[in-house]
Amino acid sequence: RKEVEQDPGPFNVPEGATVAFNCTYSNSASQSFFWYRQDCRKEPKLLMSVYSSGNEDGRFTAQLNRASQYISLLIRDSKLSDSATYLCVVNIGWYSSASKIIFGSGTRLSIRP
Amino acid sequence: DAGVTQSPTHLIKTRGQQVTLRCSPKSGHDTVSWYQQALGQGPQFIFQYYEEEERQRGNFPDRFSGHQFPNYSSELNVNALLLGDSALYLCASSRRQGPQETQYFGPGTRLLVL
Protein backbone atom coordinates (compact mmCIF):
# COMPACT_ATOMS: atom_id res chain seq x y z
CA ARG A 1 0.00 0.00 0.00
CA LYS A 2 1.33 3.45 -0.89
CA GLU A 3 1.93 5.80 2.02
CA VAL A 4 -0.02 8.57 0.31
CA GLU A 5 -2.79 7.74 -2.13
CA GLN A 6 -4.82 9.89 -4.44
CA ASP A 7 -7.43 9.16 -7.08
CA PRO A 8 -5.51 9.87 -10.30
CA GLY A 9 -8.62 11.09 -12.09
CA PRO A 10 -8.98 12.73 -14.48
CA PHE A 11 -11.83 14.74 -13.09
CA ASN A 12 -13.55 16.51 -15.97
CA VAL A 13 -16.03 19.10 -14.72
CA PRO A 14 -17.79 22.15 -16.21
CA GLU A 15 -16.73 25.65 -15.35
CA GLY A 16 -18.48 26.88 -12.22
CA ALA A 17 -18.83 23.41 -10.70
CA THR A 18 -17.64 22.38 -7.27
CA VAL A 19 -15.11 19.56 -7.16
CA ALA A 20 -13.53 17.73 -4.25
CA PHE A 21 -10.48 15.50 -3.96
CA ASN A 22 -9.42 13.25 -1.15
CA CYS A 23 -5.98 12.02 -0.23
CA THR A 24 -5.39 9.21 2.25
CA TYR A 25 -2.21 8.58 4.21
CA SER A 26 -1.17 5.50 6.10
CA ASN A 27 1.52 6.66 8.51
CA SER A 28 0.15 7.84 11.85
CA ALA A 29 3.39 9.80 12.42
CA SER A 30 2.38 12.19 9.66
CA GLN A 31 2.68 15.70 11.02
CA SER A 32 1.97 18.22 8.33
CA PHE A 33 0.00 18.28 5.15
CA PHE A 34 -0.10 20.38 2.01
CA TRP A 35 -1.79 20.68 -1.34
CA TYR A 36 0.32 21.66 -4.34
CA ARG A 37 -0.78 22.22 -7.91
CA GLN A 38 1.33 21.33 -10.90
CA ASP A 39 0.69 22.53 -14.40
CA CYS A 40 1.84 20.46 -17.36
CA ARG A 41 5.65 20.42 -17.60
CA LYS A 42 5.98 22.94 -14.78
CA GLU A 43 7.17 22.72 -11.20
CA PRO A 44 4.74 22.16 -8.31
CA LYS A 45 3.49 25.30 -6.60
CA LEU A 46 2.09 25.45 -3.08
CA LEU A 47 -1.66 25.84 -3.07
CA MET A 48 -2.24 25.68 0.66
CA SER A 49 -1.16 24.08 3.89
CA VAL A 50 -3.74 21.94 5.66
CA TYR A 51 -4.43 22.53 9.32
CA SER A 52 -6.36 20.42 11.79
CA SER A 53 -9.05 23.07 12.09
CA GLY A 54 -9.45 23.25 8.34
CA ASN A 55 -8.62 26.31 6.32
CA GLU A 56 -10.00 28.29 3.45
CA ASP A 57 -8.37 30.47 0.84
CA GLY A 58 -10.86 32.06 -1.51
CA ARG A 59 -12.54 29.32 -3.50
CA PHE A 60 -10.33 26.63 -1.98
CA THR A 61 -11.02 24.78 1.27
CA ALA A 62 -8.71 22.18 2.78
CA GLN A 63 -9.57 19.85 5.63
CA LEU A 64 -7.73 17.25 7.67
CA ASN A 65 -9.30 14.23 9.30
CA ARG A 66 -6.67 12.62 11.52
CA ALA A 67 -8.98 9.89 12.80
CA SER A 68 -9.62 8.59 9.30
CA GLN A 69 -6.23 9.68 8.01
CA TYR A 70 -7.24 11.71 5.02
CA ILE A 71 -7.09 15.26 3.78
CA SER A 72 -9.43 16.87 1.32
CA LEU A 73 -9.45 19.78 -1.08
CA LEU A 74 -12.65 21.47 -2.20
CA ILE A 75 -12.71 23.88 -5.13
CA ARG A 76 -15.82 26.00 -5.53
CA ASP A 77 -16.90 27.90 -8.65
CA SER A 78 -14.15 26.24 -10.67
CA LYS A 79 -12.36 28.25 -13.35
CA LEU A 80 -10.68 27.12 -16.54
CA SER A 81 -7.37 28.14 -14.92
CA ASP A 82 -7.91 25.54 -12.19
CA SER A 83 -7.08 22.81 -14.71
CA ALA A 84 -3.94 21.18 -13.35
CA THR A 85 -2.69 18.22 -11.37
CA TYR A 86 -3.23 18.52 -7.62
CA LEU A 87 -0.62 16.88 -5.43
CA CYS A 88 -1.15 15.87 -1.83
CA VAL A 89 1.98 16.12 0.34
CA VAL A 90 2.62 14.62 3.76
CA ASN A 91 5.56 15.36 6.05
CA ILE A 92 6.23 12.38 8.29
CA GLY A 93 8.15 12.40 11.55
CA TRP A 94 9.80 15.74 10.99
CA TYR A 95 11.67 15.68 14.32
CA SER A 96 12.97 12.15 13.95
CA SER A 97 15.94 10.77 12.06
CA ALA A 98 13.52 8.77 9.90
CA SER A 99 11.60 11.80 8.72
CA LYS A 100 10.52 12.03 5.10
CA ILE A 101 8.29 13.96 2.74
CA ILE A 102 5.86 12.00 0.62
CA PHE A 103 3.99 13.26 -2.44
CA GLY A 104 0.93 11.56 -3.79
CA SER A 105 0.83 10.74 -7.48
CA GLY A 106 -1.58 13.57 -8.09
CA THR A 107 -5.16 14.04 -9.23
CA ARG A 108 -5.70 15.49 -12.69
CA LEU A 109 -8.43 18.09 -12.97
CA SER A 110 -9.75 19.38 -16.27
CA ILE A 111 -12.30 22.20 -16.34
CA ARG A 112 -14.35 22.47 -19.50
CA PRO A 113 -16.06 25.67 -20.71
CA ASP B 1 13.66 38.49 -5.47
CA ALA B 2 15.00 35.51 -7.38
CA GLY B 3 13.21 32.27 -6.80
CA VAL B 4 14.77 28.82 -6.82
CA THR B 5 17.02 28.32 -9.81
CA GLN B 6 18.34 25.08 -11.24
CA SER B 7 20.90 24.22 -13.87
CA PRO B 8 21.08 22.84 -16.41
CA THR B 9 17.50 22.84 -17.69
CA HIS B 10 18.01 19.76 -19.85
CA LEU B 11 20.66 17.07 -19.95
CA ILE B 12 21.29 13.95 -22.01
CA LYS B 13 23.62 11.25 -20.69
CA THR B 14 24.35 7.62 -21.45
CA ARG B 15 24.15 4.66 -19.14
CA GLY B 16 27.01 4.38 -16.71
CA GLN B 17 27.88 8.06 -16.78
CA GLN B 18 27.74 10.42 -13.85
CA VAL B 19 25.77 13.65 -13.63
CA THR B 20 25.75 16.70 -11.36
CA LEU B 21 22.73 18.95 -11.04
CA ARG B 22 22.78 22.32 -9.32
CA CYS B 23 20.31 24.34 -7.30
CA SER B 24 20.32 27.82 -5.81
CA PRO B 25 17.69 28.37 -3.14
CA LYS B 26 15.33 31.28 -2.81
CA SER B 27 16.80 34.24 -0.95
CA GLY B 28 16.50 33.75 2.82
CA HIS B 29 16.12 29.97 2.59
CA ASP B 30 18.59 27.62 4.24
CA THR B 31 17.21 24.18 3.42
CA VAL B 32 17.28 22.39 0.09
CA SER B 33 15.40 19.23 -0.87
CA TRP B 34 15.74 17.18 -4.02
CA TYR B 35 13.02 15.20 -5.77
CA GLN B 36 12.80 12.88 -8.75
CA GLN B 37 9.61 13.02 -10.81
CA ALA B 38 8.95 10.39 -13.44
CA LEU B 39 6.35 11.03 -16.11
CA GLY B 40 2.83 10.75 -14.72
CA GLN B 41 4.02 10.35 -11.14
CA GLY B 42 4.30 12.64 -8.17
CA PRO B 43 7.74 13.83 -7.05
CA GLN B 44 9.70 11.25 -5.08
CA PHE B 45 11.76 12.63 -2.20
CA ILE B 46 15.48 11.95 -2.56
CA PHE B 47 17.01 13.85 0.34
CA GLN B 48 17.14 17.15 2.19
CA TYR B 49 20.13 19.27 3.20
CA TYR B 50 20.39 21.73 6.04
CA GLU B 51 23.55 23.21 7.55
CA GLU B 52 25.55 21.37 4.89
CA GLU B 53 24.38 17.99 6.17
CA GLU B 54 21.91 15.45 4.85
CA ARG B 55 18.98 15.59 7.28
CA GLN B 56 16.37 13.37 5.66
CA ARG B 57 16.58 10.73 2.97
CA GLY B 58 14.04 8.89 0.87
CA ASN B 59 14.35 5.40 -0.59
CA PHE B 60 17.08 6.07 -3.11
CA PRO B 61 20.31 4.08 -3.51
CA ASP B 62 23.71 5.41 -2.60
CA ARG B 63 24.30 6.25 -6.26
CA PHE B 64 22.38 9.40 -5.39
CA SER B 65 24.44 11.76 -3.30
CA GLY B 66 24.42 15.43 -2.60
CA HIS B 67 26.13 18.37 -1.11
CA GLN B 68 25.19 21.72 0.33
CA PHE B 69 27.58 24.66 0.25
CA PRO B 70 28.00 27.44 2.83
CA ASN B 71 25.92 29.76 0.64
CA TYR B 72 23.06 27.17 0.90
CA SER B 73 23.25 26.17 -2.77
CA SER B 74 23.24 22.46 -3.42
CA GLU B 75 24.30 19.78 -5.86
CA LEU B 76 22.76 16.42 -6.64
CA ASN B 77 25.12 13.78 -7.99
CA VAL B 78 24.02 10.57 -9.61
CA ASN B 79 26.62 7.90 -10.42
CA ALA B 80 26.41 4.92 -12.75
CA LEU B 81 23.31 6.23 -14.49
CA LEU B 82 20.57 3.80 -15.41
CA LEU B 83 17.85 4.21 -18.02
CA GLY B 84 15.36 4.42 -15.16
CA ASP B 85 17.05 7.56 -13.86
CA SER B 86 15.48 9.50 -16.72
CA ALA B 87 13.16 11.97 -15.02
CA LEU B 88 12.57 15.55 -14.01
CA TYR B 89 14.76 16.44 -11.04
CA LEU B 90 13.27 19.11 -8.85
CA CYS B 91 14.94 21.17 -6.19
CA ALA B 92 12.89 22.81 -3.47
CA SER B 93 14.06 25.32 -0.91
CA SER B 94 12.62 26.37 2.42
CA ARG B 95 13.48 28.21 5.59
CA ARG B 96 13.84 25.70 8.37
CA GLN B 97 10.90 26.23 10.71
CA GLY B 98 9.52 22.81 11.51
CA PRO B 99 6.93 20.51 9.96
CA GLN B 100 4.92 23.39 8.53
CA GLU B 101 7.79 24.93 6.58
CA THR B 102 6.80 25.72 3.01
CA GLN B 103 8.85 24.44 0.10
CA TYR B 104 9.29 26.42 -3.09
CA PHE B 105 10.27 24.52 -6.20
CA GLY B 106 12.65 25.37 -8.99
CA PRO B 107 11.78 24.69 -12.64
CA GLY B 108 13.66 21.41 -12.61
CA THR B 109 16.29 19.68 -14.71
CA ARG B 110 15.09 17.17 -17.29
CA LEU B 111 17.52 14.28 -17.47
CA LEU B 112 17.40 11.75 -20.27
CA VAL B 113 19.58 8.65 -20.00
CA LEU B 114 20.17 6.77 -23.24
Query: Nearest 5 degrees, angle CA A10-CA A13-CA A16?
Result: 145
| pLDDT tier at A23, thresholds 50, 70, 90 | very high
Most A CBs within 10 Å: which of B31, B34, B36, B37, as the mutation test of the A interface? B37
| CA A18 to chain CA centroid, nearest Å | 15
Strand partners, B64: B78
Chain A residues with CB under 8 Å of B44 CB are 103
Query: Rounded distance, CA B66 to CA B47, Å?
Result: 8
Taking residues B105-112, report their average pLDDT.
97
Average pLDDT of the segment spanning A29-52 = 91
Give tens-digit pLDDT for B37-94: 999 899 999 999 999 999 888 899 999 999 999 999 999 999 999 999 999 999 999 9
Residues of B in contact with A43 (CB under 8 A): 90, 105-108
pLDDT category, A92, cuts 50, 70, 90? confident
- What are the b/e assignments for B73-104, b being 16+ CB within 10 Å? bbbbebeebeeebbbbbbbbbbeeeebeeebb
Give the gap in angstroms from C-alpha B4 to the nearest C-alpha of chain A: 11
- B13 — pLDDT class (breaks 50, 70, 90): very high
Burial zone of B114 (CB within 10 Å; 0-12 exposed, 13-18 middle, 19+ buried): exposed
The mean pLDDT of A75-86, rounded to a whole number, is: 97
Strand boundaries in B3-94, DSSP class E? 5-7, 10-13, 19-24, 31-37, 44-50, 53-57, 64-68, 74-78, 87-94
Closest alpha carbon to B40 in B87, B103, B102: B87
**Pair A63, A70: CB distance under 8 Å:** no
Q: Is A101 part of the contact surface with chain B (CB cutoff 8 Å)?
A: yes
Cα–Cα distance measured from residue B67 to residue B84, given in angstroms and rounded to the nearest whole number: 23
* B window 37-56, beta carbon within 8 A of A: 40-45, 48, 55-56
pLDDT per position as a tens digit, B15-45: 999 999 999 999 999 999 999 999 989 999 9
pLDDT level of residue A98 (50, 70, 90 thresholds): low
Main-chain dihedrals φ then ψ at residue B84, nearest 5 degrees: -70, -5
B85: left (phi over 0), alpha (psi -120 to 50) or beta: alpha
Q: What is the pLDDT of residue A94?
A: 67
